[in-house]
Amino acid sequence: ERCREIDDRYAEADALNLLGLAMLRQDRAAHAAELLHQSLALCREMGHRRGEIDALLGFGETLLARGQAEQALAHHAAALDLADQTGARYQQACSHHGLAHDFTALGEHLEAQNHLSEALKIYTELAVPEADLIRAETSRRSV
């Protein structure tokens, strides 16, 4: 609301994205999808490519949580395409991570492993904590 009052559309798009992710964490996927859709539309309208990637990633997560793995895969793949175009390494890793979950849900475990490996490689290069999360995820899968 405050972002609209001061007419900061970038902040509004980011706020919608964050609120959508918060709704997803509270198991309110339908509301999350609405907010993320608004964020995505606003980012596209403004040409805010990195915001668009974040909204696609969040929307992909939401779709996967709703059991719509094929649609989630389409959103994560679109996020990866944009991240590749913009050179956004962290978002590339997030996209690969999302794709790994999508392919796992679809039963395509080799493809999932390929994306998980790519996510780990990038997260490690960036020295971010997500690399440890992937290592833990990988060790659980091999048990």
Q: 119-130, pLDDT tens digit by residue?
A: 999 999 999 999
| Whether the predicted pLDDT of 6 surpasses 60 | no
113, with CB counted inside 10 A (0-12, 13-18, 19+), is middle
Express as a percent the part of the chain with pLDDT over 90. 76
Provide the pLDDT for residue 3: 43
- CA–CA separation, 41 vs 53, rounded Å? 12
| Whether the predicted pLDDT of 106 surpasses 60 | yes
- CA–CA separation, 72 vs 101, rounded Å? 9
Provide the pLDDT for residue 7: 59
pTM score above 0.95: no
Among 108, 98, 35, 43, residue whose Cα is nearest residue 71? 98
